[in-house]
Amino acid sequence: MIRKLLVTSIAMATAMAALPAAAQTNSGQAAIEEIEVTSTNRRSVGLADVNAAVSVIGEDELDLINHTHYQEALNRLPGVNISRNNGQESLASIRSPVLTGAGACGAFMVAENGIPVRSHGFCNVNEMFDAHTENAQRIEVIRGPGSAFWGSNALHGLINVVLPEPGEAGEIGIEQGPRGTFRGNLKVGSDRGAFKNILLVNGINEEGYRDNSGYDQQKVSWLYSYDMGESRLDGGFTISNLNQETAGFVVGTKAYKDEALKATNPNPEAYRDSINTRVWTSLTREFGNWEVVATPYFREVNMNFIQHFLPGTPIEDSEHRSVGIQVAAYRELSNGANIAWGFDAEGTDGKLKQTQVDPTVGSFFLRSTIPQGKHYDYDVDARQLAGFLSYEQTFDSGWEVSLGVRLERVDYDYNNLMIDGRTKDDGVACGLGGCRYNRPADRSDTYTDLSPKFGLSRALNDNHSLQIRAQRGVRTPQATELYRLQNAQTVAELDSVELDSYEVGFIGAGDNWDYTASLYYMDKANDIITNSARENLNDSHTKHKGLEVGVGYDINNQWSVRGTANLAFHTYENSLISGGDDIEGNDVDSAPNNFGNLRLTYQPSSRFLAELEYVYMGEYYTNPENTASYEGHDLLNLRARWSISDNLSISLTALNLRDTDYAERADWTTFTGDRYFTGEPLRAFIGINWQYR
């Protein structure tokens, strides 16, 4: 009843707006007012004017971090806990547990310049490595549902990588690190009056800390803007390529501390190859009192990798191509209110094959039910059509209201290119009741979802503001959840996942300090799980409660301190049997109750900047039964940048200063017990950067 009341009341109030409570990364009122964000309503607005739980990492901070993996940057933000696996892989957490599973990636949208890096039904948990974060002007993170503006896949949050504005640029950077790590970076741009452009190139080679775990990655982006007088064109492309030798979990209690195990690779055959291309152009034009922005785009994704975490280690080969358009119109009304409306449309052609090259090894049951050969081969044509409306107004009382609603329809047409059912690829039945993998017959599925939001904000005085938000996030089932079935399940009758979020936030800033504090409560229903019979079901109900705090304080002209602290509780709320136990009321696994970081910055002059970072990860359970856990860890990192001259600088990054044994990610399974992705020991990177114009 409460869920229906939330949808009905907010939708009847009609409109859509910017999202929940705000955070910032620079101390001082003036600095906050200068920060721009685009993730909240798809056009640049001042952070101080946004009623949204959005954090921003700016260009100066990104230059100091100089990350080789985006985790190093994103985990500085409130509510964000990116779990690094091996190489450039990761699992995301934004006001959530670290989510795993075929469709878990659908809980988070990853975009670059507002264009999602993957189509809504074809996400991947590692898709963040497709964004050109290494050359970003800023990274914006919305914490909590972003569905009212962005739709499905913005359930728990949104990460938007914003690339630099086109224009004059000339910069070369190189960096050397341990185990053969070498990275190069290039920025070249020109300003020819009405036409501006910039080319961004980044490449890295690393041998890897663990055996057979090196990778090569290249990213190229080109952006342009063309002022035509009454209208403007902005666009470009990004191509990213990854060739990675992947290291799997090390197995055994506290194996990440075992000198004989922690640098080993139980899966030396594992690899991941991925290439992602996106091309877009935005046309902005005034029509009377309306500013209209139309952005057509094209996306192509190809990925091939060994699923080393499955028996038989099959190869997955997937691809999808999308053509879409985003349209938004903005207007200020005579009463001072701001209204926006728009629509999104996208068509996607997706394909997936899963093939096992070698016979299965292991128990008689595994060898009998997991055959060598092709397991899946299917096409999915997907269509997305959505419309949204937003309304924001400030009243004489000082209160500002923001209302929003989005209606979205997603259609899937699935075509199985193999024999239907749970047989081998030649139609022969497996022993012991049938093959593990089941191929459903051709079918179509349609999902229609409504995503409302409501926000109130008020300036309490010149330094402090109050923000209140209620909104719904949704995500449609992913294609892999619907059509890559197992055991006896021939049809996955799945509904969209729904998350209702309520939040109270305070933000404030003075001349030398700033803070953000958000208290949230989220109720998630129809969550998709794979049960003990390997059926994909809407059979999980969870609750998510937490407090996020971010603070910054300039001690004097040379010293400043910043930090974030997170207190969170993620619990199972319905009766579920796991490992023979009912886990209702248990903590969700891979969900630390507390984590955060603290950074001390020293800047004695405009030419030198150093930062000492303390990273804290609390204990968390690694299985739903709450019988296995990881003890957590504490890390120290050091970063420094010295400008030798106006155009030449050197940098030093030293990670894990105390050489702590830790796990980037801990997990537990019935078959293996404790297993870990090992954290890397002390390592240092030295770079030089030349701005030649």
Check whether 89 has a pLDDT greater than 70. Answer: yes
pLDDT of 123 reads 92
Contact 535, 581 (CB under 8 A): no
Q: Residue for token digits 């985003």?
A: 326
pLDDT of 41 reads 65
The pLDDT-based confidence of 151 (bands split at 50, 70, 90) is: confident
- Nearby residues of 288 by Cβ (< 8 Å), 6 or more positions away: none
pLDDT of 47 reads 62
* Secondary element (H or E) of residue 7: helix 2-12
Of 2 and 554, the structure prediction assigns the larger pLDDT to 554
The pTM for the full model equals 0.92
> Own/partner pairs for 295-298, CB < 8 Å, 24+ apart?
295/114, 295/115, 295/325, 295/326, 295/327, 296/323, 296/324, 296/325, 297/115, 297/322, 297/323, 297/324, 297/325, 297/326, 298/322, 298/323
pLDDT of 20 reads 31
Report the CATH number at residue 362: 2.40.170.20
Check whether 161 has a pLDDT greater than 90. Answer: yes
pLDDT of 12 reads 36
Count, residues in the chain: 693
Q: What is the chain's mean pLDDT, rounded? A: 91
Q: What are phi and psi of 65, to 5 degrees?
A: -65, -45
Boundaries of domain holding 324: 2-691
What string of DSSP letters covers 362-376? SSHHHHHHS-SEEEE
Strand extents, DSSP E, 555-624: 559-572, 577-578, 581-582, 594-605, 608-617, 620-621
Check whether 23 has a pLDDT greater than 70. Answer: no
pLDDT of 26 reads 44
Nearest to 353 by CA among 404, 298, 417, 293: 417
Nearest to 272 by CA among 529, 442, 88: 88
What is the C-alpha separation between 656 and 641, in angstroms, rounded?
A: 18
Amino acid at 159: I
pLDDT of 8 reads 37
* Structure-block tokens of residue 51: 């009623």
Q: What are phi and psi of 149, to 5 degrees?
A: -100, -35
- Is beta strand 437-438 parallel, antiparallel or unpaired with respect to 485-486? antiparallel
- Nearby residues of 458 by Cβ (< 8 Å), 6 or more positions away: 398, 399, 400, 465, 466
Mean pLDDT of 123-141: 95
The pLDDT-based confidence of 531 (bands split at 50, 70, 90) is: confident
For 175-203, b/e burial (b = at least 16 CB within 10 A) is bebeeebebebbbbbeeeeeebbbbbbbb
Query: Considering Cα of 578, then 585, then 53, then 407, what sign does the dihedral take?
Result: positive
Nearest to 19 by CA among 520, 422, 589: 520
DSSP 128: G
Mean pLDDT of 367-395: 96
pLDDT of 100 reads 85
pLDDT, tens only, 485-518? 999 999 999 999 999 999 999 999 999 999 999 9
* Structure-block tokens of residue 535: 């059926």
Mean pLDDT of 578-592: 93
Strand, helix or coil for residue 665: strand
Q: How many C-beta neighbours within 10 Å does residue 602 have? A: 14
The pLDDT-based confidence of 31 (bands split at 50, 70, 90) is: low
pLDDT of 35 reads 63
Number of domains in the chain: 1
pLDDT, tens only, 347-373? 999 999 999 999 999 999 999 999 999
Mean pLDDT of 158-179: 95
Check whether 19 has a pLDDT greater than 60. Answer: no
Check whether 24 has a pLDDT greater than 50. Answer: no
